[in-house]
Amino acid sequence: MVMFKRALLLALLPGSVLAAPVFTLQSSDFNDSAMLNKTFAGNNKSNPSCTGDNVSPALSWSNAPAGTRSFALMLTDPVGGKGLGVTHMVAYNITADRTQFAQGELSKGEGYTGGKNSPGTTSYYGPCPPVGSGIHHYNFVMVATDLPVNQLPGGLTHDELIAKLKGHTLGAATIVGRFTNDK
């Protein structure tokens, strides 16, 4: 009888009471799983695969989990580096009251602590897939943490950041952009 009463009570509650809003990450510059504009590709004169302007896309997020004290953002290409993966950005110590980065802001290295990406820089490094390698998927992952801002030192690699975040994550949101240099 107790189970029946609980089920009846839950059935009478509005849906908004039962489900917390979903933590989401989005961009005004591209839709999830859409192709990225060439502007967002890397710009490195010593690498012919970097054909863009290295402008970071705008990102915004909402409905962070309760208790969020900071965010971390990672950008990876899981099949880059001939299948070993490429990290294009590692950013953390992002304040909990922040909800967006404007277009180009992540390229400037402001508003976060920069970690080392695969090319060795500490800010956004846009896609540079080799010609003939097909369409690559660029995974933007925003992680909500219970760590206070400036808890983590600068210069962490992707793997080092993941190790530091273990036991401190509250949730994550993702958006995927695709890019190719194939014609």
pLDDT of residue 15: 52
81 CB neighbour count, 10 Å cutoff: 11
Radius of gyration from C-alpha coordinates of the chain? 19
The percent of residues above 90 in pLDDT, for the chain, comes to 89
Mean pLDDT confidence for 4-14: 50
In this structure, are residues 139 and 99 in contact, taking their beta carbons and an 8 Å threshold? no
pTM for this predicted structure: 0.89
Instruction: Please state, rounded to an integer, the average pLDDT across all residues of the chain.
Output: 93
Q: What's the rounded Cα separation, in Å, for the pair 52 and 138?
A: 15
Q: How confident is the model at residue 1 (pLDDT cuts 50, 70, 90)?
A: low
Alpha-carbon distance values, 156 to 115, 116, 131, 159 (Å)? 4, 6, 30, 8
Mean pLDDT confidence for 84-100: 98
Alpha helices by DSSP H, listed for the chain, are: 2-12, 15-18, 158-165
More confident residue, 122 or 4: 122
Q: How confident is the model at residue 56 (pLDDT cuts 50, 70, 90)?
A: very high
In this structure, are residues 89 and 72 in contact, taking their beta carbons and an 8 Å threshold? no
Would you say residue 37 has pLDDT above 90?
A: yes
Would you say residue 10 has pLDDT above 80?
A: no
CA angle 39, 34, 63 (to 5 degrees): 100
CA atoms within 13 A on the CB side of 11: 6
pLDDT of residue 5: 47
Mean pLDDT confidence for 108-135: 97
